[in-house]
Structures are given as structure tokens and as C-alpha cells.
Structure 1
Amino acid sequence: MGINFKNLFTSQKNKSKMGDYQNLDHIDGVAISSVSANLYNTSRDDLVMFYFRDGANHASVYTQSKIVSENIKWNIDQKNEKIFSLLVNTRNANAFTGAKGYQSMQKLAEIISSELSQKQKDDDNNPDHINPNQILFGCTGTIGEPYPFEKIKKKIPDLINQIKYTQNKYIWTKAALGIMTTDTKPKLAMAECDIGSTKVKIYGIAKGSGMIQPNMATTLCYIFTDAKISNEILKKLLTKNISNTFNAISCDGDTSTNDMVTIFSTNKAPNKKIANINDKKLEEFDQSLNEVLLNLAKRVVADGEGASKFVTINVNNCSSETDAKKIGFSIANSALVKTAIAGEDPNWGRIIMAIGKSGVDLDLSKLSLRFGDEKIIINGKLNEKYEENTVKEYMKNYAIDIDVDISTGKKKFTTYTMDLTKKYIEINADYRS
């Protein structure tokens, strides 16, 4: 596939340097193609296809919103063990589009499966016949607008004609750029690890900048591995590792209709069979998958709409993880906290307010609060050595750490968020203009 460098660097508001990203290269069993379907009325890539020549095992976690996009409905309805392609479009969420939106998925799946089946015949000695139920979709963009079926349909032949089976850093970055909406930079991460004595790769890309809040808060995230792992174990691994990664972030407290995280396993690595999720051979893979997901989740927060600060909220020593999570998100989603951080104001009273409104039972005589290394509250009282000017200086940092100690138990949870700036309002006020 020839790299269209104009498209590579003209995604909206992209200011990233290529050197900022990990060196994702080739992963067996995955092919990528991206083109412009003119969905933005510009030449930027807005349509990305991932093709699994021999099929891929898969597992997904989707939004918990009660209103979901038609592509999510389509994906949930498909029960096939192996997937051969994922098509992702931007600019249009295909949400609140009803039967017509769902039928667009069905028609595109029929076209893609037919053309990929022909490609199998052209490229392989033992071709597979690909069925429509072996195609998945990702959609992101504006809710409620008619799905641009004709524009996308017209570009399917180009996508398939441009498929190449060898990947590199530029192709992965091009794909990550192609799925962006209000993001300012592409999001990529990778890890290499062992399953037993076999080396395997885990690659991931994501998009997300606004409408980010758990259950599930990812916008879109796609993980690819050459490991040989069953659908059942992939599902358990993904569900387990979502908890402290994509379900630990919030930009603005809003859950999308389209959120999805999907992992694809091409089975190309010759690792020994994994019996179950507790198989010791899987331990390093489990840890590496968590690292990739957390890396991508943090990139989503760092690129939050209008963000000027990256905020880590550690809530420690709670009676339950649920309580720690409630307190963490109460702080992370407080507009008053987020605007104070944007203004570099050490207004710790807003943190106290957010802890109190979380609904968690507290013993104030045990509550402690710290900004970075600066102790503000110790055992329910203002630190006698508290110096506001010192904390004010700390608030000028890009990365802000808030540590809350409840001292009612031993459970903890870390939440990641960003500040709330005037730029956030500008971006969302102008979103469709």
C-alpha cells in the first residue's frame, strides 16, 4: 500500500510527530488499508479496514449505554467464531438511525464478504469463503445523521485493492489517524511477551477525546495479537483488564453510544494451547495486555478535548474497590475540580466536596489528602505545615497527582482524567460546524 503522506498528516488538528509513537511493525495475520471516503469533505483518511487473511479469534466489550449504535447491534448479533474483517468509519456514529442504519451494515457486510472471498481466490491456494457474519464494524462521529452508505460502499473496492500483507510503523499510524474524530493525535501502543517459550506480539490503536466515561469508556480501541488464544479466554482476559484501564478513565463523564474494545487473535504464533485463564503460561501475556490497554487509555485522557493537564487520582485504603472507584470518579467528573486544575488553583476544598458527595461512608478523623508530595489534609485536619504557594507552584505541572487516603480498609483504585478548559467548550460548541 502506498502511503499517502498528505492524508497521514492532515487529520484534523493533528500536531503529533511520528517519533512520538512506539515502533509497531509487522504482525502476522493482519492486513490494513485506509482511504478517504470524503466523509469530512476533505482528503483525510476516514475509512479503515483490517483484514485477517486466515480469520481471527475475537472478543469485544461494548458500551453499556441503553441507546447503542446500529453497528454495535450488528456486531452483537454475529456469533461466528472467526472474523475476517473489521471496517471502521469516522464522521458518522450510525446511532439513532434505526432499521436503515442496521441494513447499511448488512449490505456492506455482504459486499465486503463477497469481495474478500474473491481476494481469497486470487491470493490463496486454499481460499476460504467469507460470510457476511464474519465482518465487524466500528463507527464514530455524529449521532442521528443518516449513515453515508453510498460514500462508503463506493470506496470498498479501493480499500480491498490497496490491502498489503506486510505492515510497518507508518501504516499503523495511518490507520490510527484514519479513525480519529476530535482527537489531536493518533494513539498506538505495543508490547512483546512470552507465552511459555513462544514470543508473541500485542499491538493496539485507539481513538477517543470526548464523551469518555466508563461502562465502557473507550470510544474505539482495537487490539491485535498473533497469539493462539480461544475466543472464550480472550473474552475473559479483555473483561478482566478493562476494569483498571478503559473503565478507569473519564474526560467529561459522558458514555458514548458507540464505545467498543475488541481484541483479535490471528493464531499465527506457535504457542502451546492455553487451557484456561489461570494457565501459568498466560501470566506474562495477561500483564502485557493490561499494559497496552492502560497505555492507550492514558493516551485518550491525555488527548481529552481541550486538555492542558493529565490528572491521576489515587484513592487508597478503602473498605472496597467499589468505594474507591466512586470517590475517584466523583473527583474526576467534578466540573469544579477540573476547572480549578485548569486554572492551576490549589483549591483543595473542591476535592473535599467531591469526596463527600460520592456517597461513601467516611471517618473524617482518618481522611488524608495529598497533591503530589505535598500533604494537605492529615487525619481529617489541615496540615499545620501546609504552604499554599508551594502547592500552587505544583499545580503548574502538566501531570497532577491527587492522592486520597480513606483509611477504612485496604482496597484502592486509580482514576485518570484531565482538566476542563475553555477549549473544551469551543471544540464541542463547534463540533458539527
Structure 2
Amino acid sequence: MITVTALHYSADFPYDNRPGPVATRRQLHSARAVHSIIDEDLRVSTHKSIIKTLGRQYTDAAQFFVELVVNSWMWGEATKVEVKIADSGSQIEYEEWGRGMDLDGLRDFLTKGKTTGEGFSPKYKRPIRESYGMGSLAWLTLGRELELQVHKERFDRTIMLTENLIDRHWAPTDQSTWKPLRVIQAPLDHDGLRIKIRSLTKKTDPGEVRRALLARANVLALRGYGPFEVFVNGEAVKPEELRGATLLPVNIATEYGKITGEVLILPISKTRAGISEAGMSVQQKHITCLQHQFFGLDQYRIHGLSRIQGWVNADFLRRLPGGNEFERDSAQWRVFEKAMRGFVRNRVYKFLRQTASRRELRSIQYLNKEIAERLRRSLRRNIEILSRAIIKTKTSSKTSQAVHHVAKKENESG
């Protein structure tokens, strides 16, 4: 249908040369799409290089072992983990004694980007966090070849993944999968898994792995979730028992849930040289995501920051997909941060000030005692010197008087 606009002309038409309104035509189609169809000429695909990019997300090799240990505790319900790092640098071996995997479990393990739900493990009721399955690619951070063997009851399967397989066996039809190699070998003698990483591209120090596990894997210190022990090259990894440390428990109720944890204030004898390793770890489902947090305590001019250690756990916090950061612009984080700043100000800062005052008072008392003792010793020495001088003076005067008396008598007799 065509709409014609009526035009109004002035009395002196056609002599008026001013332009009048132009007739308009209504659009045949609406600006909004009427319907949509699948575009058969285009599609969204995944390039194989994204697997390598995701696999190299950890710049710190020790973080790979932290993720493995935490996943063994959480998903595998492991009771024991052994890490073996060869001195020659030829391979790294990781073995877990847990519930293991069947074929469906192995398929889920190899599915990347699939979000898993939260909850609790069936046997030990260990808290399970939301996961995206990306951490299992982190072996590409350490080497080019992975051998994975899983065992559960009568099921046992060994597969091999390499960088070359990603390039050679990437499925050209869907651009999203590649096939591993199946290896035939003797089965494991226990439920669990064994991982071997070869063709290493990074040197891994066993000492750094132990320190990273103690600092970031808080599951080593948890009690009440069944047995769990970790060994690195045959040496047990156990949290240090800090005698003389002051423990400040954290138990804060918020509108989103509870914040629990422990803040340790180390004794002066355990004080570190700097604050790079101090601070609190922030966890979700008892999995460390942030480290070295002070929640405003570092803004106060006070000594003792290097003595602060501990962890706080808030299950309601939202993690970013990478797993090493939270959504800091969320309402949950703002509530959490406000609560922790209040706790730090009212409990930790107050304790540090009180201990600093007591320490200064003790120092002043010690200095006063030291000064008084030095004065006593000085006076004692001075008194002895004065006494000897007085005695010497008296003795010399008596001697001179006796000599004068004898001389006088001799003069009188003479």
C-alpha cells in the first residue's frame, strides 16, 4: 500500500520557488527481522591451537601439582598421593590411591569446558567445587607427552596424549576433538590413577613443589574428611607445627553464607625477612584461589605484617573460569571483603598493637634494669676506688705524723 502525502501551496503558486515537502513511501519490510534460518555457509569452530593455549595457562610448574593434589583429594577421594621427580629430568610420575575411573569417568575427564556441579564426595563427604576441566590440560606446561593409566575395580585403561597427536589426529570433521593412543600394559594393583609426563620442557624442583603444596593446598591441613597424605620423592609433605603462634579463628555470618578460617600470628622467632610470603589465602570449597591477602592491614603503619599467616574460606564466592581469581565486581565479593576488613581491623590489627605495646614495655623495662645494673656496678667500682684512696690517704697522713713526731723527739733530746 502506498501512502501519498497531501501538499499545501501558497496563494502565489506557481511563482513561489520555496521547496515544499516531498512525498514519502512506506517501507515494504519492518526494520526488525521477520524470521531467521540457519546459515549453512558459516559455522563456529574451534582451532586446535586453543588446546595448547589452555594447556600452558600455568607459568608456575608447581601450580600443576597443586591442582593435581587438590583434584585427587576432592574428586578422587584419594587417601595417598606420591610425586616422583627424576633427578635426571627425564620424566615426572604422579600416582594416586583413590576411587579411580571407569570408562565413563575417563570420557568425562577428557571432556574440556564442561561445567561440573558442586556438592560433596560420596565416601568422605569432601566439598567439591565447580570445575571446567581445563586443569587436566596443564601437563602441556611441563612436557610434550602424557601417559595416563586409570583403574577402578576390574576396569583398567592406559592412554597417551602428545602434542603431535593434537596436530596429526585432530578430527577434521568437527574441529573439536582428537583421539589419544591406547597403550597395552600391566594393570595397576589399586584403584586410582598414574600419570607420567615425558619430554619435559621445564625443570621442576622437588623443594619448590613441597613449598607450593604447603602454601596453596590447604587440604593437607584439613581434619575430619578421611585420611590423606602426600609424598614428594619419598618425603612426606606435612604442615609445620608452629609452637608459640597465636590463633585467631574466623567465623563470620553474612547474607550469602559463612566465612570460616584461621589467622595465625607467628611468634617473633618465626618472623620472615619480608612480606612476600605472608598474608592470608582466600579459598572456595577449601581450594586456594588467592594468596598473600591482608585486607587493608598493609595500609596501617605497624610492624609485624610478616608474622601474618592463615586462610579464610567462603563457598559463596564466584570464581572466574581460570580458577585463580574471583569476580571482584560481584555483590558476594564486596560483602566478603567488607567483612574481612572489619575482622582484620578489630582483631588482627588490635592484637598486633597490643603485642607491640607489650614488647615495647618489656624492652623499656629491660633497658631500665640494664641501666640500673650498670649504675650499681659503676658505683661499686667507684666506691672501692674511693675507699682505697681514703684508706691510702689516712695511712699516708698517719705515717707522716709519726715521722714528724719522731723527728721532734730527736730534736728535743739533742
Whether TM exceeds 0.5 here: the answer is: no
**TM-score, length of structure 2 as denominator length:** 0.28
TM-score norm. by structure 1 comes to: 0.27
Which structure: larger Rg?
2
Higher relative contact order (CA 8 A, sep 6+): 1
